[in-house]
């Protein structure tokens, strides 16, 4: 019997590692999405939030329809002030919450499954990366996992079926208020409801869930009918967005790429983002024999049904447009697949069945990628291969004996080490945004009673008010660098040049947005005097 301390220590490690990553690799605001979410959160606490739709009927901002993203952030602002840490505290807590849910579910019954799932999910680089940004994906992941867990526990609970049914409906509704892709769980939920109805099982649970869910959905549609005169406003908003982007979809503007998108591209994408070990172990669980009382089948079915809809499903009802192959779009898939993979690894290390196939798959991925991720695949492949080979050695060490507690502990150590390599690298990598240095310069030198114009780059011009808690001093104006020829200063006003060399050399920005170098910007303002410097951020006073 494996001690539950294995799950306890794994949870502690994952939580500490996640928090360390959050603080050591934070890069500040990333794009327009997190800026809009933070602005809505501030509007909530300042009383300026408006529910009504765009008066021009353009339907251009679906982010406003996700109150479970910016609502909790507004609470964080009220408690801790408006800053980048309080802005991203909610995604961090949601990420940590996923590990806690897994630990709570299986620390006693299946400590190896719990430990493996927490490592595969909690140390996945892109999940850690999303703790730093106010995006909906990790928040949705938490609601998805919590809802599925409520469904699993509620259906086998004899005493609190009604409460679990209500909880399942509430958690699923919270997911809907976070992001629309909770819909990928719906086919599994409906299939399970139909099965239980046919077998006349778990009636109290489903009655409570359906009544609560229908009530919540009816209230939701009535809300939109009252405020927008369109009960299906959110659906129409999604369809309008797809219509606006149809030139890039797979049936109008990108038809030639459709076959690849629904066949080999998702597989290559999953391998290239480091999800190969999770998928291989989940596939191993798919072909393992049934075990009485095991939850393996639940997570395998949910994981692969969700994966199928991600692979070939559409983001639109009116046109076929598969979801974008971006790492952050995969988060709803990961909790059930991680738990399925946990069952797969546990059974493999107990019986040895599938070890050689998974080893071969991992090593092939390492050879095919031949990049830094090959260390992850190669390390795990070599370990599992060593365990498989040790079974043919008569005098093998106890730590390599299948089913022995030592082999499970060693496996968790190896998995933790291999999975932590990539995020650990980014924890020690120099900042690419210098957000905190820029924030310090603005707080120390560009506050009231300063008056005049601050010249900034094309990235900062769209979000500079965030640095002031959305309350910019009334006598400060922000302009782009290239507006220098049109500036006219009033008596008593000054002009400053804020130069963030990290922004001006960031590859993601220089490909599309930034078209100038630090030296070229300085050449536009030869009459300047250095006021402050913090790392790669400099503040100059300039004269005409």
pLDDT tens digit string along 306-316? 999 999 998 88
String of b and e for 308-342 (b: at least 16 CB within 10 Å)? ebbbebbbbeebbbbbebebbbbbbbbbbbbbbbb
Q: Which H or E run contains 99?
A: helix 84-106
User: What's the alpha-carbon Rg for the chain, to the nearest Å?
Assistant: 26
Q: How far is CA 296 from CA 347, 500, 542, in A?
A: 10, 51, 66
Q: Is the pLDDT of residue 484 over 90?
A: no
pLDDT-derived band at 54 (thresholds 50, 70, 90) equals low
Buried b (16+ CB within 10 A) or exposed e, 354-389: bbebbbebbbebbeebeeebbebbbbbbbbbbebbe
Return the half-sphere exposure (C-beta side, CA atoms, 13 A cut-off) of residue 398.
3
pLDDT tens digit string along 154-185?
Answer: 998 878 999 999 999 999 999 999 999 999 99
Whole-number pLDDT of residue 251: 66
Give the least confident one: 79-83, 155-159, 188-192, 433-437: 155-159
Question: How far is residue 96's CA from residue 104's CA, in Å, rounded to a whole number?
Answer: 13
Instruction: Report residue 476 CA to chain centroid gap.
Output: 36
Distances (CA, A) of 11 to 294, 336, 426, 496: 22, 17, 21, 49
Mean pLDDT of 501-515: 90
Nearest C-alpha neighbor of 55 from the set 228, 224, 185, 212: 228
Range with lowest mean pLDDT among 56-65, 180-189, 373-382, 410-419: 56-65
pLDDT score of 254 more than 80 = no
Q: Is residue 1 over pLDDT 90? A: no
* Averaged pLDDT of the chain: 93
Q: What is the pLDDT of residues 314-364, one digit of tens each?
A: 888 877 888 889 999 999 999 999 999 999 999 999 999 999 999 999 999
pLDDT value of residue 316: 82
pLDDT at 22 over 80: yes
Terminal Cα distance for the chain, rounded: 78
Helix (H, G, I), strand (E, B) or coil at 353: coil
What is the C-alpha to C-alpha distance for residues 50 and 64, in angstroms, rounded to an integer?
Answer: 10
| Cis status of the peptide bond prior to 450, with omega within 30 of 0 | no
pLDDT given at position 233: 87
- 67, 404, 383: which is closest to 224 by C-alpha? 67
**pLDDT the model gives residue 112:** 97
Query: CB within 8 A of 43, min separation 6: which ones?
Result: 49, 50
- 259-268 confidence digits (pLDDT tens): 888 899 999 9
Alpha carbon separation from 317 to 61, 228, 240, 325, 326 (Å, rounded)? 19, 21, 11, 19, 21
**pLDDT-derived band at 241, boundaries 50, 70, 90:** confident
CA dihedral (523, 524, 527, 531) positive or negative = negative
Which class for 13: exposed (0-12), middle (13-18), buried (19 or more C-beta within 10 A)?
A: buried
Average pLDDT over residues 140-149: 98
- Strand-pair category, 452-456 with 494-500: parallel
What's 239-306 look like in SS3? Answer: HHHHHHCHHHCCCCCCHHHHHHHCCCHHHHHHHHCCCHHHHHHHHHHHCCCCCCCCCHHHHHHHHHHH
Q: Contact 154/192 with Cβ under 8 angstroms?
A: no
Bigger pLDDT: 511 vs 454: 454
What is the share, in percent, of the chain residues with pLDDT greater than 70? 96
In the predicted model, what is the mean pLDDT of residues 22-33? Answer: 93
Q: pTM for the full model?
A: 0.95
Residue 395's pLDDT is: 82
Calculate mean pLDDT across residues 104-113: 96
Yes or no: say if 434 and 537 are a contact pair by the CB < 8 Å rule. Answer: yes
What is residue 59's predicted lDDT score, i.e. its pLDDT? 47
Residue 146 has pLDDT above 70, yes or no: yes
Distance CA 399, CA 187 (A): 43
């Amino acid at each position: 019997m494996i001690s539950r301390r294995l799950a306890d220590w794994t949870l502690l490690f994952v939580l500490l590692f996640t928090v360390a990553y959050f603080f050591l690799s934070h890069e500040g605001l990333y794009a327009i999405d997190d800026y809009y979410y933070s602005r809505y959160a501030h509007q909530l606490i300042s009383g300026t939030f408006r529910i009504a739709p765009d008066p021009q009927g353009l339907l251009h901002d679906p982010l406003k329809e996700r109150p479970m993203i910016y609502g909790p952030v507004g609470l964080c602002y009220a408690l801790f002030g408006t800053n980048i840490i309080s802005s991203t505290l909610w995604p961090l807590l949601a990420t940590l919450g996923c590990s806690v849910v897994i630990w709570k579910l299986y620390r006693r019954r299946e400590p190896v499954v719990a430990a493996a799932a927490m490592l595969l999910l909690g140390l996945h680089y892109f999940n850690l990366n999303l703790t730093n940004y106010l995006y909906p994906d990790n928040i949705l992941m938490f609601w998805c996992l919590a809802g599925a867990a409520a469904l699993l526990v509620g259906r086998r609970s004899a005493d609190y079926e009604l409460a679990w049914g209500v909880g399942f409906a509430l958690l699923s509704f919270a997911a809907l208020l976070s992001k629309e892709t909770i819909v990928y769980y719906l086919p599994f939920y409906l299939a399970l409801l139909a099965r239980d109805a046919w077998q006349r099982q778990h009636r109290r649970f489903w009655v409570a869930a359906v009544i609560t869910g229908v009530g919540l959905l009816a209230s939701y549609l009535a809300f939109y009918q009252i405020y927008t005169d369109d009960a299906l406003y959110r659906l129409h908003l999604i369809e309008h967005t797809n219509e606006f982007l149809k030139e890039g979809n797979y049936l109008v503007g990108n038809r030639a790429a459709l076959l690849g998108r629904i066949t080999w591209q998702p597989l290559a994408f999953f391998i290239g983002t480091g999800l190969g070990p999770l998928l291989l172990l989940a596939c191993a669980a798919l072909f393992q024999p049934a075990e009485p009382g095991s939850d393996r089948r639940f997570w395998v079915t949910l994981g692969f049904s969700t994966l199928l809809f991600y692979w070939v499903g559409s983001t639109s009802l009116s046109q076929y447009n598969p979801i974008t192959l971006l790492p952050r779009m995969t988060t709803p898939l990961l909790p059930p697949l991680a738990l399925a993979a946990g069952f797969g690894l546990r059974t493999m290390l107990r019986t040895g069945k599938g070890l050689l196939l998974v080893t071969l798959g991992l090593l092939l991925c390492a050879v095919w990628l031949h990049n830094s991720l090959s260390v992850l695949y190669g390390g795990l492949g070599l370990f599992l291969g060593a365990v498989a080979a040790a079974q043919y050695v008569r005098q093998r060490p106890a730590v390599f004996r299948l089913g022995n507690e030592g082999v499970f502990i060693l496996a968790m150590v190896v998995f933790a080490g291999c999975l932590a390599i990539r995020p650990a690298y980014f924890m020690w990598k120099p900042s690419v945004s210098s957000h905190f240095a820029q924030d310090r310069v603005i707080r120390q030198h560009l506050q009231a009673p300063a008056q005049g114009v601050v010249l900034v780059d094309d990235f900062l011009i769209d979000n500079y008010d965030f640095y002031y808690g959305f309350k910019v001093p009334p006598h400060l104006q922000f302009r782009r660098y290239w507006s220098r020829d049109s500036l006219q200063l009033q008596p008593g006003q000054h002009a400053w040049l804020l130069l963030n060399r990290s922004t001006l050399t960031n590859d993601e920005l220089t490909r599309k947005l930034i078209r100038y170098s630090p030296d070229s910007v300085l050449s536009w303002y030869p009459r300047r005097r250095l006021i402050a410097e913090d790392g790669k951020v400099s503040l100059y006073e300039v004269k005409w």
